[in-house]
Amino acid sequence: MIPAFMDSHLKTGTNLGRYEIRSKIGAGGMGVVYRAEDTQLRRPVALKILPPEVAVDSVRMWRFHQEAQAAAALNHPNIAHIYEVSEYNGTHFIAMEFVDGYTLGELIHSGQTDLSKLLRYLQHTADGLAKAHAVGIIHRDLKPDNIMVTRDGHTKILDFGLAKLVEPLETSVVDSDVATVILRQHSTPGTVVGTVGYMSPEQARGKTDQLDSRSDIFSFGCILFEAVTGRKAFEGADAIDTLNKIIREPAPPISDFRSDLPNHLQRIVRRCLAKDVEDRYQTIKDVAIELKELRKELGATAGIDTTVPPSTRGSEIRTSAASPSTAPITASSSAEYIVTGIKKHKVIFALILIASVVAGIGLYLHFRTTSVTIDSIAVLPFQNRSAEPDTEYLSDGLSESLIYRLSQLPNLKVSPTSSVFHYKGKEIDPIKVGEELGVNAVLSGRIVEHGDNLTISAELVDVRDNKLLWGEQYERKISELLVVQREIAREIVDVLKLKVSGEEPGLAKHYTESSEAYQLYLKGRFYWNQRSEEGLQKALAYFQQAIERDPNFALAYSGLADTLYLMGAVETGGDMPPSDVLPKAKAAALKAIELDPTLAEPHVSLGHAKAFGDRDWAGAESELKKAIELNPNYSVAHHWYAIYLTTVARQDEALSEIRRAMELDTLSLSINIWFGRILGAAGHTVEGLEQTRKTAELFPSSTQAHYRLGLAYEEQGMLEQALSEFEQVSKLPGGTRLGLSGRAHVYAVMGKREEAEKDLNTLLQSSKEHYVTPLFIAMIYVALGNKDKAFQWLDEAEKVHDLNTYRIKQDFRSQSIRSDPRFAKLIKRLGIP
């Protein structure tokens, strides 16, 4: 008979305090399980309704509350959290984390989950158990149905601490080997000693007072055996026979079922399943380490199993409710069972109806090979799953650092940061991303911060056939972030079987030994990528702090040089005269090169500083070429070399370089903008306009994109469209001065002098508090016909090394003053070849 409490059914919409019932999930020896909604915190939960007979047992409930409180304090990504144990109108329940996914048992017997994935899930299970064991909590009822794998591949252990609720209060020993556990309806209803097939020998003997973490290790060994072979380690004719095997007989060698597996795996299983607790692994952490080493040995690590097993397709999401094949030992609602000494000649009691064992499904190691080499990869922005938003620099920084390390490999194309960050915060389809970026493989991941600890998950997909190549989860301290990056990069290279030359300095290189300095560097890059006035100021501060922590940190100096350069570029968020920042950028770049001559980045910054700060054009070209030589796949080097070439009017070469930059970084805002500008400068005005229009559509919130589109419209005489774009720029964050300058010029060209002068005066007033590029003001005066004022401001632009002044010969707005002798003198002072 089914216990009365299992017959009851709470209807959808029923409230237990703040929890609203949504659907019934299942039932087991612990009670009925429902999916519910926490109406206060707006999150799904799993509610276990405790049997009334258990709930009224004050001694048992007190013991359980003590255990549940300790279990609820566990904070680990591989442990399903217990939120609270509570009561409402006489109904006792446990509110737990709702886990959306599949039980490990379902995955083991689905026939669709390869062994490498199962070993990964079990490694993470061991990591979770290690956390609990470290604080003195043991599970007591570990089994495949108490381990969930979420739909995005995370392992969660269910029901920590719940076994205490139904642990027997009394045992009596009838012989030296086996305890007699008396289960009476009126004294200990719902009693659970463990689950047949997964108990440790000490549990099977009823020695519950002697259980420690090594009992969980035995249960873990049973699960590992089942994952490897598709069969249970101990399987008798009935429950009594199975318990007898657990106590007296060794598990069969896994080689009886799988002859292709290494001896290392047999040894792990055998040690977990040792009858004597002293012969087992003494800590589950040791098992986790062994499994990780084993997975490396097998050479076929894998991650998320995205295929829904046939046994669960279209069914309710499973929780820890027991399935028939793993039914716990429980008391019936109408009978009393006495399990006495378990010996072959003893009478077999009908304790539980054991379901027919599912035939072992042959699993196989999936050694992934590719007929076509993976030669390109995109590292997508890692998702920040932390509660605090100010930790986003960690997720962004990890992505950028992996991009940087992998881009050091000469025969691997790596999509740069500016391309992949286009996908930040969006739902990701790896196949679509691969097509858009033109890569063979896509790496994605998540990062969660728990105090000083990090959980990092990563998956690598071959997008050509939607095949998962690799997946891993790392538990590290924040201080170990540098180590994790090197591990992930190294493992990706191993999976892709890349033939890399030498010692792969980019992968294993220690850029700094200071974790604090590195975190400051990541924060600097995070804000540098925002390309805003506020972001650049924050980036500057963080790079300087990183250098203070480690004066020999070359990457921090390189970041400082990049930031200082952009601070003199108004269109990209700068707010300082270039003459103030270019010398500092040059000094930072030189220091970076002194500390690490192999870095390509500082050579690019140095090249720009030499060109636009020193007007050393030959020296600038040499630095830019050196950067490309050091890293031929560094898109910024090709991009900035193209800017140099268009400035010195070598337009065909400039087009070639900007096209190469586009190949390397298809979704870079700046490269797309400059592609349009260089097309126009090379005489391809229609194509240039179309490219600029596409860029504005691709980056609708970019002031720079809309400003350049406005100029492109104006050059083609499309003044109304130009005015509309400049109006839009003015409304975007940080675009007021940029939009004003463009609008004033268009008004002047349209003959609307009053409107033009009004905007000009506003701009002049603003220049008293903020840096406004003198060239913008000069061009407005040119359009108004005031050449004297125009040249006064052009002289000022030349003195402060205004970056746009160097391209004035290609600027359509200077057409009417090019015949003026003062224009030729200006060009001579600029020293452009």
Closest among 711, 743, 707 to 813, alpha carbons compared: 711
Whole-model pTM over 0.75: no
Which one of 27-41, 128-142, 188-202, 610-624 scores highest in mean pLDDT? 610-624
pLDDT the model gives residue 26: 77
Beta bridge partners of 328: 195
Q: How confident is the model at residue 647 (pLDDT cuts 50, 70, 90)?
A: very high
d(CA 761, CA 143): 76
Distance CA 744, CA 762 (A): 10
**Mean pLDDT of all residues belonging to the chain:** 79
Name the least confident of 184-188, 462-466, 540-544, 665-669. Answer: 184-188
Banded model confidence at residue 41, pLDDT cuts 50, 70, 90: confident
Is residue 60 a contact partner of residue 52, using CB atoms and an 8 Å limit?
Answer: no
Residue 521 scores a pLDDT above 70: yes
Nearest to 133 by CA among 284, 264, 29: 284
DSSP state of 383: E
Listed in sequence order, the DSSP H helices in 161-303 are: 201-204, 213-229, 239-248, 263-272, 284-298
* Paired strand residues for 28: 31
Q: If 0-12 CB within 10 Å is exposed, 13-18 middle and 19+ buried, where does residue 170 land?
A: exposed
Task: Give the residues across from 448 on adjacent strands.
Answer: 455
Please tell me the predicted confidence (pLDDT) of residue 299.
Answer: 60
Mapped onto helix, strand or coil, the DSSP state of residue 102 is strand
Nearest Cα to 392, choosing from 574, 530, 516? 530
Tally of residues, the chain: 833
Phi, psi of 477 (to 5 degrees): -80, 155
- 222 contacts 288 by C-beta, under 8 angstroms: no
3-state DSSP call for residue 21? strand
Q: What percent of the chain has pLDDT over 90?
A: 37
Quote the DSSP letter at residue 317. P
Q: Is 167 helix (H, G, I), strand (E, B) or coil?
A: coil
Q: CB neighbours of 582 closer than 8 A, spacing ≥ 6?
A: 564, 565, 568, 608, 609, 612, 613, 801
Q: What's the half-sphere exposure (Cβ side, CA atoms, 13 Å) at 220?
A: 32
Residue 739 has pLDDT above 60, yes or no: yes
For 622-637, what is each residue's pLDDT tens digit? 999 999 999 888 888 9
- For residue 614, how many C-alpha atoms fall within 13 Å in the half-sphere facing its CB? 17
Strand partners, 155: 149
Does the pLDDT of residue 101 top 70, yes or no? yes
CA distance 188 to 128: 30
Burial class (CB in 10 A: 0-12, 13-18, 19+), 13: exposed
User: Of 790, 190, 43, 45, which is closest to residue 34 (Cα–Cα)?
Assistant: 45
**Angle at CA of residue 318, ends 312 and 323, nearest 5°:** 90
92: number of Cβ within 10 Å:
21
Catalytic residue among 7, 100, 114, 141: 141
How would residue 56 be classed by pLDDT, with cut points 50, 70 and 90?
low
pLDDT, position 455: 81
- The highest-level CATH class for domain 376-510 is alpha beta
CA distances from 692 to 689, 699, 719 (A): 5, 10, 16
The pLDDT value given to residue 341: 35
Q: Is residue 305 over pLDDT 70?
A: no
Burial class (CB in 10 A: 0-12, 13-18, 19+), 17: middle
Mean pLDDT value across residues 357-376: 42
Compute the average pLDDT of residues 318-341: 33
Neighbours of 812 (CB within 10 A): 14
Helices (H), 158-205: 201-204
How far apart are the C-alpha atoms of 189 and 353, rounded to whole Å?
A: 18
pLDDT band at 725 (very low <50, low <70, confident <90, very high): very high
Position 114 pLDDT exceeds 50: yes
In 3D space, the residue among 493, 485, 494, 510 whose CA is nearest the CA of residue 409 turns out to be 493
3-state secondary structure of 653: helix
Beta bridge partners of 460: 443, 470
Say how far apart CA 98 and CA 165 lie, in whole Å.
20
| Ramachandran bin of 634, using left for φ above 0, alpha for ψ from -120 to 50, beta for the remaining angles | beta
Q: What is the pLDDT of residue 27?
A: 72
- Mean per-residue pLDDT for 100-112? 87
For residues 55 and 373, give the distance between their C-alpha atoms in angstroms, rounded to a whole number. Answer: 61
Question: 3-class SS at 780?
Answer: helix
Structure tokens at 369: 């090979």
What are the φ and ψ backbone dihedral angles of 204, each rounded to 5 degrees?
Answer: -60, -30
- How far is it, in rounded angstroms, from Cα 196 to Cα 328? 6
CA atoms within 13 A on the CB side of 24: 12
What is d(CA 38, CA 550) in angstroms, rounded to the nearest whole number?
48
Q: Where are the alpha helices (DSSP H) in 275-365?
A: 284-298
Q: Which CATH number among 1.10.8.60, 1.20.120.160, 1.25.40.10, 3.30.465.10 corresponds to the domain 523-632? A: 1.25.40.10
Cβ contacts of 555 within 8 Å, gap of 6 or more = 511, 512, 521, 592, 596, 599, 601
Residue position matching structure tokens 């790596």: 414
In this structure, are strands 31-38 and 43-49 parallel, antiparallel, or unpaired? Answer: antiparallel
CA-to-CA dists, residue 432 to 437, 442, 468, 528, angstroms: 9, 10, 15, 28
**Which amino acid is it at 804?**
N
Q: What is the pLDDT of residues 583-636, one digit of tens each?
A: 999 999 999 999 999 889 899 999 999 999 999 999 999 999 999 999 888 888
Phi, psi of 335 (to 5 degrees): -135, 160
User: Mapping DSSP to helix (H, G, I), strand (E, B) and coil, where does residue 718 land?
Assistant: coil
Query: Distance between CA atoms of 473 and 385, rounded to whole angstroms?
Result: 14
Strand, helix or coil for residue 704: helix
Based on the residue annotation, tell me whether 141 is a catalytic residue of this protein.
yes
| DSSP H helical ranges for 550-668 | 554-566, 578-595, 601-608, 617-630, 635-647, 651-664
Band (pLDDT 50/70/90 cuts) for residue 169 is very low
In sequence order, the 6+-apart residues with CB closer than 8 A to the CB of 451 are none
The domain locations on the chain are 376-510, 523-632
> So what's the pLDDT on residue 328?
39
Asked if the domains at 376-510 and 523-632 fall in one CATH topology, the answer is no
> CB–CB of 729/571 below 8 Å?
no
Going by the DSSP 8-state scheme, the letter that residue 609 receives in this structure is: I
Q: Which of 678, 567, 668 is nearest to 613 (CA)?
A: 567
Cβ distance 50 to 84 under 8 Å?
no
How far separated are the first and last CA of the chain, in Å rounded?
Answer: 95
Residues 547 and 560 sit within 8 Å (Cβ to Cβ): yes
Collapse the DSSP code of 471 into the 3-class scheme (helix H, G, I; strand E, B; otherwise coil) and give the result.
Answer: strand
What token pair was written down for 672?
Answer: 């797309």
Stretch 218-231: mean pLDDT: 94
Contact 220, 272 (CB under 8 A): yes
The C-alpha atoms of residue 380 and residue 805 are separated, in whole angstroms, by 37
